[in-house]
Amino acid sequence: MRKRVTILGVAVDDVLMDDAIAAVARFIADGGPHQIVTINPEFIMEARRNCAFRQVLAAADLATPDGFGIILAARWRGTPLRGRVTGVALTERIAAEAAQRGWSLFLLGAAPGVAERAAAALQRANPGLRIAGCYAGSPHPDDEPAIRERILAAKPDVLLVAYGHPAQDLWIARNQPILRVPVAMGVGGTFDELAGVVPRAPALVQRLGLKWLYRLLVQPWRWRRIMTAVPLFLWTALRERRSFNESHAQE
């Protein structure tokens, strides 16, 4: 049974990494198409004002909890999640499993050349990993037919799309009915981290839930996104908890 927690109207699956990998293996065994989304505070705030994005998140076959703010908000609601499954960590674990199980990966998105560098990093860490293809492309609808041709010819088991949210997740939802890749997942800035374009936060910083602060220090131009993902999201989640508690107190 799928256990889900709803945060500000967006459902998140209560899964750990092993659960997510088991789902990936099941999706690949079943065939396509399936979509995975990695829910972080920015996703939830975007979904509140973007109906199409909200519908894609609701229809996803797996919605992992990505972001410390998600864990906090779930705890405040009295429906705690067991832990996080971030896009970067899930990508790395999928690559490791793929090298063992013979799955192939296609990396789509990021700046030209970055997907290739990310793929090379994954192959160095996981000898034997099969990369079906890499392509930057763009999320513009006019480019979709040519991109679909590449992916259909490559026949990957897993498609990783790095166009940033909500573009990557909307792109997958539009194209999966034709592509029918067993697993398609939006991965945001994962390729940049794997390729070394963006420095990765130290492990301790990530465990403490302070990756947002590290990002602010190394990429100060992201301050608007970080304000949405951290203080605004947490304030909105606190208000929801207060309203939830008040409504139950009146019953």
pLDDT at residue 1 in the model: 66
- pLDDT cut 70: percent of the chain above it: 83
Which DSSP helix (H) or strand (E) runs through 35?
strand 35-39
Is residue 173 classed exposed, middle or buried when 0-12, 13-18 and 19+ CB atoms within 10 A define those classes? buried
pLDDT at residue 126 in the model: 98
Mean pLDDT of 206-221: 63
pLDDT at residue 215 in the model: 64
**Pair type for strands 183-186 and 158-162:** parallel
What does the DSSP assignment read for 214-239? Answer: HHHHH-GGGHHHHHIIIIIHHHHHHH
The overall average pLDDT reported for the chain is 89
Q: Residue 245: pLDDT above 60?
A: no
Q: At what angle do helices 51-59 and 41-49 cross, to 10 degrees?
A: 130
Which of 72-76, 94-98, 136-140, 153-157 is least confident? 72-76
Which of 8-17, 57-66, 136-145, 224-233 is least confident? 224-233
Token pair, residue 92, equals: 């790395």
Which of the four pLDDT bands, split at 50, 70 and 90, describes residue 219?
Answer: low
Mean pLDDT of 116-139: 98
pLDDT at residue 118 in the model: 98
